[in-house]
Structure 1
Amino acid sequence: MALGEHKYAVQVQWIGNRGTGTSAYRAYGRDHIISAGTKPPIAGSSDAAFLGDASRWNPEDLLVASTSACHKLWYLHLCAEAGVVVLEYRDEAEGTMLDNKEGGRFSQIVLRPHVVVQAGSDAELAGRLHHAAHEKCYVANSLNFPITCEPVITTRAV
């Protein structure tokens, strides 16, 4: 595994100028395009509660998704190393943000992974590996609020 510094470059381009820029709070759109190299662009906006487009990804969605995806990637890695064969993985993650006059903050993220492991795999170990994945998750280690994990592990014959 490579160690060291890793950099991630993204571009965020605001496309919400409706002709008068930010002349008033309700005068501009919150839409933007997130891009990184040759990857498909992500249509972004603010949350609909903040005059954004609910059909586009908002920063809060992306933070919860990043936390969930990072946990999943570490979990699958640890399962592969431990001989636990994962057949399916689906997370129903939820973040809670508290809004206030100063701007607000996230108070928690709850990960709810539903994992199907192959019959014969150690389901108890599969459950414990979520704790290890959380300890290694780069995103979770960078956040300053609680992230909990409520996994459900089931088995299935191939």
Structure 2
Amino acid sequence: MSTHIADVAWILKPGEDFAAGRYSRGHTVSFDGGVTLAGTASEHVVGKWAVPEAVDPEEMLVAALSSCHMLTFLHVARLAGFAVAAYRDHAEGVLEETAPGRHALARVTLRPEIEWSGVAPDAERLAGLHEAAHEGCFIANSVKTDVVVAEPVSSRRSSASPLASPSP
């Protein structure tokens, strides 16, 4: 169907001690569209060897699930005759021990806020749109992680202004 590529690169810096585990987990992740992100291991895993301002793999997976759900939702809503004016999600992944010494992102909660142009779907129809988006999301179909849409989902009619930035 299609191929998707990410280039990941890391290099030991002068003065770091690989054998002792004293090295930065900072690296780059580059995509075919030309975007390069600063990557790292999670600070929760490697402590001071993480790069706080970089993105860790767990965050990238949460973002991929959120982005895929949103894009699929927009398509499903359009086909159902609804017009979305704005969509924002504050997604959260929870890393849990799934077996002794084995961890996984066991649950990702999506918290979409949607502004509608025109008629908004009722709660039952909105839940059906999210279910259809989840079923059609390639990333959700690729992982074992439990992905849920949190309730209540904000559903508002569009105003002239975009959604406000999320609170810290």
Query: TM-score, structure 1 length as denominator?
Result: 0.87
Q: Give deviations 1:27-79, integer Å, cap 9, x for gaps.
A: 21101000123422011011112231111000010000000000000000111
State the match for 1:32 in structure 2. Answer: 27
Query: TM-score, structure 2 length as denominator?
Result: 0.82
Which one of 154, 157, 167 corresponds to residue 152 of structure 1? 154
Q: Please state how far the C-alpha of 1:85 moved relative to its aligned partner.
A: 0.6
Q: Which runs of 5+ in 2 are unaligned?
A: 161-168
Which stretch of the first structure deviates more once superposed, 143-152 or 95-104? 95-104
Q: Which runs of 5+ in 1 are unaligned?
A: none
The 3-state SS of whatever aligns with 1:138 is: coil
- What is the total number of aligned residue pairs between the two structures? 153
Letter in 2 for 1:144: K
5 Å-filtered alignment, 1:68-83, equals 68-83=66-81
Letter in 2 for 1:87: A
State yes or no: 1:91 paired with 2:93: no
CA distance in 1, matches of 2:36, 2:57: 14
**Following TM superposition, where does structure 1 have runs of at least 4 consecutive aligned residues deviating by more than 4 angstroms?**
none
CA distance in 1, matches of 2:12, 2:62: 24
RMSD: 2.0
State the match for 1:53 in structure 2. Answer: 51
